[in-house]
Structures are given as structure tokens and as C-alpha cells.
């Protein structure tokens, strides 16, 4: 029966002690949030950890949900915040690992960024994704988040600013810097001139 209720009615049912209603809410929004987390964190395992944690925290915070946005948007924000927290901690661990490496400890192999390691035009999608993923991994957490929210999720600048708590001008500058960095790291893929990849109607129209 709960499956036919709208989100806010389900939230009210949860507050009334019917926790099975929360399962319906989770089922409704997990598919929207999970891919974003995988791309933001670069790991399915981390994405699952974070999303599960987000759902648990969301349940505890249901009292704060006022229905001003959809439940999935509200959960999206929680999951994004937790993912950002994890990204920043990961960055710090990387810094410390670097420090340790300088003292002769085993280093983590950096991603191979040499042109020779880049697959040919006929490379499989999996290899291409691995390269893009490695390039994303090199970005600062804040830059990575903006790129994922814009280019992977297709959100507008004002939405991204709202989600990350930053002005639109900051979204614009971070996004541009991040894309420039990705452009340098993915040079062989970016320069790929195969017909399937060289047509950008919006750009060509503007330049014609």
C-alpha cells in the first residue's frame, strides 16, 4: 500500500513509526544518487558505503525534512556532503602517504599518464573510462565535484552552487579550471580526431 503514496506521505508514515515506508523512499531515489557517487568517488565500494550511510543519516534527520524539495533531492544533498567529506579525507591521506614515501616507504604507483599508455582509437570503452577516471582522480575534490555535477549529472550552475554552497561565479571558475586540467591530462583522447568524436555542433556553429 505504501508504494502508492507520494514522498511526503511516506516521510510522514516513517515519522509515525512505519519504517517500511523508508524502504520505499530508499528504493525510489537510490538509482538517481548512486551513479553520481560512483563517479564522484571513483569507486563502487565507496559509493555504496556513502549511500548507505546517507540513508541511515537521512532517517535520523527526517524531522528536518520539510518537503520544500523532493525527498530524493534532499537525500542527494546529504549523500553529496558525505561524499565530499570522504574525498577530502582521501586527499589528506594521499598527502600523508606522499610524506611517508619520501622516507623510503613503498609508494603507491601513480597513474601512468604517458602518451604511450593511452589506447589507440579503437580502444574499448572500459579502457577509455579508466583513463578518464584516472584524470578525474587527479582533480581537487572541489573541482571534481563541480565537473561531475555539471558534465555527468547535467546540472545547471545555480543548482551546483546551491548543492555545494558556493557562488555561481565560483562554480564557473572551478569548472573551467577543472576542464583545463582534464584537457591536459587527457590530451590523447581529446585530440582524437575520429569523426565520431570531433563533431560538436554547438561549437562549430558558433565558430562558423
Q: Is 55 in the site for other proteins (CB under 8 A)?
A: yes
Q: Is 41 in the site for other proteins (CB under 8 A)?
A: no
| Closest distance to other proteins from the beta carbon of 114 (Å) | 19
Q: Is 194 in the site for other proteins (CB under 8 A)?
A: no
What residues from 9 to 38 belong to the interface with other proteins (CB under 8 A)? 14-15, 17, 19-20, 22-24, 26-27, 30-31, 34-35, 38
Give, in degrees to the nearest 5, the angle at Cα 90 between 86 and 95.
150
Among 10, 40, 41, 182, binds other proteins (CB under 8 A): 182
Among 3, 117, 167, 183, binds other proteins (CB under 8 A): 183
Q: Is 39 in the site for other proteins (CB under 8 A)?
A: yes
Per-position x/- string for 73-112, each x denoting binding to other proteins as judged by CB under 8 A, each - no binding: -x--xx-xxx-xxx-xx-xxx-xx--xx-xxxxx------
Among 128, 137, 138, 159, binds other proteins (CB under 8 A): 128
Per-position x/- string for 140-169, each x denoting binding to other proteins as judged by CB under 8 A, each - no binding: -------xx-xxx-x-xx----xxxxx---
Closest CA to 22 of 57, 73, 48: 57
Cβ distance to other proteins smaller for residue 116 or 202: 202
Stretch that binds other proteins, among 2-10, 39-47, 109-117 (CB under 8 A): 39-47
Helical axes 157-164 vs 71-102, angle rounded to 10°: 70
Q: Which three cell numbers stand for residue 141?
A: 575534490
| Closest distance to other proteins from the beta carbon of 160 (Å) | 10
Amino acid at each position: 500500500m505504501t508504494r502508492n503514496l507520494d514522498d511526503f506521505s511516506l516521510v510522514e508514515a516513517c515519522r509515525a513509526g512505519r519504517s517500511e515506508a523508508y524502504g520505499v523512499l530508499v528504493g525510489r531515489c537510490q538509482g538517481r544518487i548512486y551513479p553520481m557517487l560512483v563517479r564522484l568517488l571513483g569507486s563502487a565500494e565507496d559509493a555504496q558505503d556513502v549511500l548507505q550511510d546517507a540513508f541511515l543519516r537521512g532517517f535520523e534527520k527526517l524531522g528536518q525534512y520539510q518537503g520544500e524539495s523532493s525527498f530524493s533531492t534532499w537525500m542527494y544533498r546529504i549523500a553529496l556532503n558525505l561524499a565530499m567529506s570522504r574525498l577530502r579525507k582521501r586527499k589528506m591521506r594521499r598527502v600523508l602517504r606522499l610524506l611517508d614515501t619520501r622516507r623510503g616507504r613503498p609508494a603507491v604507483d601513480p597513474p601512468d599518464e604517458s602518451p604511450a599508455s593511452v589506447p589507440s582509437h579503437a580502444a574499448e570503452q572500459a579502457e577509455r573510462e579508466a583513463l578518464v577516471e584516472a584524470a578525474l582522480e587527479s582533480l581537487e575534490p572541489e573541482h571534481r565535484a563541480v565537473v561531475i555535477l555539471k558534465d555527468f549529472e547535467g546540472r545547471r550552475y545555480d543548482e551546483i552552487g546551491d548543492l555545494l554552497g558556493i557562488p555561481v561565479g565560483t562554480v564557473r571558475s572551478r569548472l573551467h579550471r577543472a576542464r583545463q586540467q582534464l584537457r591536459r591530462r587527457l590530451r590523447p583522447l581529446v585530440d582524437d580526431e575520429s569523426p565520431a568524436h570531433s563533431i560538436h555542433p554547438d561549437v562549430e556553429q558558433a565558430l562558423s
